[in-house]
Structure 1
Amino acid sequence: MSWRVVSADRFLDSAALWDELNAAAGGPPFLRAAFISRALDLFGTGEEVVAIHSDDVGVDAITILQKGHSGTWHTFQPSQLPLGAWLMAPGRTHAALAAELFEYLPGFPLLIGITQQDPHMSARPAEGGLVETLSHQTIGWIPIDGDFETYWNQRGRHLRQNLRTQYSRLEKAGISRKLHVLSHAKEMGPAIARYARLESAGWKGAEGTALGLDEVQARFYCAVLEDYCAMQSGTVFELRFGERTVAMDLCIESDGVIVLLKTTYDETVMGYSPSSILKALAYERLFARADVHRCEFFGPFMWWTSRWTQCARVLYHVNVFRWSRLRALRQRVRSASYGPPAHSGLATASASPESPIHCTSRSGGLGASGGLPFL
């Protein structure tokens, strides 16, 4: 068994293997090679490497890594990518693979940080030896199982009453509502332009974090959605009141899983809850499809998330040290200080979660787990 490390500009040479591993691991649509390739092109530094591990049977792990500081390497993960770029076959472990990888990376690395891993894909490893695990955040998902009416009746009374009220207000005001479902590549450019204008007019625009028409992020999401629409795997849900766009969700899917990449709404539309109306109409369509079994939110589990689902799980980081004594030293330093030094190069996060995967019909919210990514 051995690793092979090449420049990430050769990533597409391994695209088929990447997608095979992602499918085998039950990975989300944004970990497909089409998404990763666009992310590397637009957000990579040009110094990333692709590491490919093979056993006697064939390739059983692939990762994309960036060199950090103070003798560290970490998985490629720009902010647009919800999970770290690490794939491995079922039965393989982060610790064993990373322990072998040290000898193949340039320089003399002391730590490999594997960021934001999903317990749906691989169980959180046990703490000890070379391994340190750290909680990142709680995320939610909706099981698309049964019919929409049953799902809707399980939502809280406040959400259901609120939407009935908004529908009544729209009807009394003579305002039509319609959900447009866009899934053709040629529709994505204009759709992203409308999305950017909508988001820029809201609080994200005021904070400078909105999708801008001329920004690299807009080019990225437009290219990704065009790519996925060409594979019949991209969708934009757009809610209009009359001819006015009031809410939009950008989604991609694969293997029965649809992921909400980005969402926005018109904050000047007061008293009509356009974002909630869009989601109710969109989820009704998803429940009518036989080929979708899960809808994923990879953002933090917020109060509004709990209105739509009580299913949650905790993403985690894995730090693998070259020697176990480095991990022990790291733990002593952390316990003796009030917090990690700025830009320490080591991951910091909250303690292990009580329940890595949780799904219940109880009402009430689930708070997000604190933590910082490895950087």
Structure 2
Amino acid sequence: MKWTLLPAARFPEFAAQWQALHAASGASALLAADFVAPLVAEFADKRVLLACCNKAGATVAMALLTPGGRGAWSTFQPAQAPVGLWLQQPGIALAPLADSLLAALPGFALVLGLTQMDPALMPRPLDAGRIRTRDYIDTARVTIAGSFADYWNARGKNLRANLKKQRTRLEKDGVAPRLQISRAPEEMAAAVADYGRLESSGWKAGCGTAVDAGNAQGRYYRAMLEAFCRRGAGSVYRYWFGEQLVAMDLCIEDHDCIVILKTSYDEAVPKSLSPALLMREEACRQLFDEGRFARIEFYGRVMEWHLRWTEDVRTMYHVNYYRWPGLARLHALLAKGGKPAPATDAQTKEASCNSTK
């Protein structure tokens, strides 16, 4: 195995190679070249590297990597990426890939961190030898099977009764709720601008993390959604109370899954109404009726409201691969003493202002 390291800015030259590996590995839309290229363009600095591994003339792994602490490297993990930017062919063990990559990285790399890995995409390896893993967050998804009526009847009585009560109130007040779905690439600029206005009117404005059509986040989501929509794999859900925009979802899709990347709602709406949940009910009903997808993925940390919609929860994880087994054991002892290993912490430390859900 031979790794080639290049500046991440050259990703567009290797996008087709990345996409071919993505297709061969059956990875999520979150790892498609259309998702990754705008991340690099907007958020990668000069330290970020594109790593390509070849074996017998075939590309078997690719990743985007950034330096961490002394002797540490990890997958590039901007807040907009729910999973670590690592691809590998199925059937290839992680250890030889990581071992050869450690040897190729600049300086004397001691540890390689793979951050925010999804066990649904890559099975969690056992803690053994030079590999150590640790939990990241629990995340949830809805499995689309059977009728929406059966799914909805299996939800909690309080959720169903509360949303029914809200719809009755809206009808009594003469307010007509409406779900709008935009899928055309030329509609994404306006959609991201609308989303930014919703998000900027709420608590994220005070944190400085709200999407805005003119900031890096806004540029990223517009470019990414336009690219997905050009191939029929992007969608934006808007929910209206009459002429008032009250909630939005930004989504991407692959052959059997729709991923809800970001959700926002109008915080000026009375607390007795839940526009995001009302939107979610209508959107789920339509997705069940269409039967296009097998799953709705939320990603992000499981919240109480997620558990009202699904019991399907799994634990995402980090991987540290060490140059020496003794270093792995040392970091494991430090972790038991309340001092976590540094290879992934710098990339995954979460502040509430960076929450996307």
Q: TM-score range by the shorter chain?
A: over 0.9
CA distance in 2: counterparts of 1:232 and 1:20, whole angstroms: 19
How many residue pairs get aligned? The number is 348
Partner of 1:353: none
Partner of 2:16: 16
- Alpha-carbon deviation of 1:187? 1.2
Partner of 2:106: 106
SS at match of 1:288: helix
Residue 345 in structure 1 maps to residue 342 in structure 2: yes
CA distance in 1: counterparts of 2:290 and 2:21, whole angstroms: 26
Residue 63 in structure 1 maps to residue 38 in structure 2: no
Partner of 2:260: 260
CA distance in 1: counterparts of 2:116 and 2:42, whole angstroms: 21
Residue 94 in structure 1 maps to residue 94 in structure 2: yes
Deviations 1:64-99 (A, max 9, x none): 111222011111110000111101111123222101
Do 2:140 and 2:298's aligned partners in 1 also have CA atoms closer than 8 Å?
yes
What pairs up with 1:1-375 in 2 under 5 angstroms?
1-56=1-56, 58-270=58-270, 271-335=272-336, 337-340=337-340, 345-347=342-344, 372=349
Which is further off, 26-35 or 301-310? 26-35
Do 1:3 and 1:53's aligned partners in 2 also have CA atoms closer than 8 Å?
yes
Do 1:26 and 1:120's aligned partners in 2 also have CA atoms closer than 8 Å?
no
SS at match of 1:339: coil
Do 2:184 and 2:229's aligned partners in 1 also have CA atoms closer than 8 Å?
yes
After TM superposition, the score normalised by the length of structure 2 is 0.93
CA distance in 1: counterparts of 2:279 and 2:344, whole angstroms: 37
CA distance in 1: counterparts of 2:160 and 2:74, whole angstroms: 44
Which is further off, 266-275 or 31-40? 266-275
CA distance in 2: counterparts of 1:129 and 1:185, whole angstroms: 48
Runs of 4+ in structure 1 displaced over 4 angstroms? none
CA distance in 2: counterparts of 1:293 and 1:329, whole angstroms: 43
Opposite residue 5 of structure 1, the aligned amino acid is L
| CA distance 1:158–1:246, shift in 2 (3 Å) | same
Do 1:4 and 1:51's aligned partners in 2 also have CA atoms closer than 8 Å?
yes
Do 1:134 and 1:348's aligned partners in 2 also have CA atoms closer than 8 Å?
no
CA distance in 1: counterparts of 2:338 and 2:293, whole angstroms: 46
Deviations 1:170-192 (A, max 9, x none): 11101111100111111111111
Deviations 1:325-367 (A, max 9, x none): 11122223344x4434xxx733469xxxxxxxxxxxxxxxxxx
Deviations 1:185-244 (A, max 9, x none): 111111111111111111222333322343211111111111111111111110111111
Which is further off, 130-139 or 48-57? 48-57
SS at match of 1:246: strand
- Alpha-carbon deviation of 1:131? 0.7
Do 1:28 and 1:259's aligned partners in 2 also have CA atoms closer than 8 Å?
no
Opposite residue 323 of structure 1, the aligned amino acid is W
Do 2:53 and 2:59's aligned partners in 1 also have CA atoms closer than 8 Å?
yes
| CA distance 1:280–1:45, shift in 2 (3 Å) | same
Opposite residue 346 of structure 1, the aligned amino acid is A
SS at match of 1:83: coil
- Alpha-carbon deviation of 1:150? 1.3
- Alpha-carbon deviation of 1:312? 0.9
Deviations 1:265-314 (A, max 9, x none): 11121122111110011111111223311110111011010111110111
Opposite residue 28 of structure 2, the aligned amino acid is P
CA distance in 1: counterparts of 2:204 and 2:145, whole angstroms: 34
Do 2:6 and 2:49's aligned partners in 1 also have CA atoms closer than 8 Å?
yes
| RMSD across aligned positions (CA) | 1.8
Do 1:251 and 1:262's aligned partners in 2 also have CA atoms closer than 8 Å?
yes
Opposite residue 334 of structure 2, the aligned amino acid is V
CA distance in 2: counterparts of 1:104 and 1:338, whole angstroms: 31
CA distance in 2: counterparts of 1:292 and 1:37, whole angstroms: 25
CA distance in 2: counterparts of 1:187 and 1:102, whole angstroms: 44
Structure 1 unpaired stretches of 5+? 350-370
SS at match of 1:114: strand
SS at match of 1:87: strand
Deviations 1:112-170 (A, max 9, x none): 11111111111111102111101100000111122211111111111111111011101
